Amino acid sequence: PSQGQATREAMRRRQRTPADPTIASGSCCCVPCCVCVDSSQRGVLQECGEFKELVEPGFRCIPFPIQMVKTISVKVFQCTVTVQTQTRDKVTVEVEMAVQYRVEPEQVHTFYFALTHPSQLISARAKDSARTHLAAISLDLAFANPHRVGDAVHASLHHSLAPYGVSISAVLVVRVTADTGVAAAMNSLLVSKLHRTAARERAEGAKACVVKRAEAHAEAQALRGEGSAR
């Protein structure tokens, strides 16, 4: 047969031959992808869903979608927590705290795979710690030393969140508010105490005046007696 006939026959055989299912199902296309990690971030590199390594700030090329990079910020964030509870003397108070936290750069992968909503976890644990500490102190102590509440919550959060790669920078007690009736009663007690102090001071002043007058009168009598004797 001629060369043209042989070519046509080969094309017919190729069309009748079914496609190789192995090649069709196993084909994959990887696209080079460029990733840029900011200085305030760290990247989590995954290959087929498995953690491989941390990606430092800078430029990097990866074969997408075999490998993927998820960036996590290592900046300091602030979470506002408000809790209402009772003190040791059964007075209801409301405490507002500002919890400042960040992800440790070396533990970014731990944080990424362990936590979904870190602010919710921090809020729940901070409320539990504040309730426990305020239940052991009086209202006066809570108002006089609010930093003690912050220190107790800070220690509790640091201990419980360290395994997740979260570092607690500070816990600041922004506001301590008592019930309106309790605040009015405390103000009334303070006014009464100040009145008692003022009355005591006035009495001490009057007593000093009487003593001084008596001393002056006795000294005058003594001088008059000396003059009569002469």
**The pLDDT of residue 23:** 34
Tell me: the pLDDT tens digits for 41-63?
Answer: 999 999 998 999 999 999 989 89
pLDDT exceeds 50 at position 28: no
Closest CA relative to residue 90, chosen from 184, 182, 189, 188 = 182
CB atoms within 10 A of CB 99: 23
The pTM assigned to this predicted structure is 0.67
**pLDDT-above-90 percentage for the chain:** 50
> With contact defined as beta carbons under 8 Å apart, do 151 and 173 qualify?
no
Closest CA relative to residue 83, chosen from 150, 137, 145 = 150
pLDDT exceeds 90 at position 220: no
Higher pLDDT, 196 or 130: 130
pLDDT exceeds 60 at position 133: yes
**The pLDDT of residue 21:** 41
- C-alpha distance from residue 44 to each of 14, 37, 69, 86, 160 (Å): 47, 10, 5, 44, 23
Tell me: the pLDDT tens digits for 142-166?
Answer: 888 999 999 999 999 999 999 999 9
pLDDT exceeds 60 at position 124: yes
User: Mean pLDDT in the chain?
Assistant: 83
Reported confidence tier of residue 212, pLDDT bands at 50, 70, 90 = confident
Q: Nearest-5° angle of CA 57, CA 63, CA 68?
A: 55
Angle formed by the axes of helices 146-161 and 118-134, nearest 10°: 130
Please name the amino acid found at residue 173.
V
What DSSP string runs through 116-169?
A: S-HHHHHHHHHHHHHHHHHTTS-HHHHHH-HHHHHHHHHHHHHHHHGGGTEEEE
Biggest CA-to-CA distance, the chain: 173
Once rounded to an integer, what is the mean pLDDT over residues 23-30? 45
> With contact defined as beta carbons under 8 Å apart, do 62 and 37 qualify?
no
Higher pLDDT, 2 or 224: 224
Higher pLDDT, 95 or 11: 95
**The pLDDT of residue 196:** 83
Q: Strand runs (DSSP E) across 38-141, as ranges?
A: 41-47, 50-55, 58-64, 67-73, 77-86, 92-103
Measured between its terminal Cα atoms, the distance across the chain in Å is 173
Q: Is 17 helix (H, G, I), strand (E, B) or coil?
A: coil
**The pLDDT of residue 198:** 81
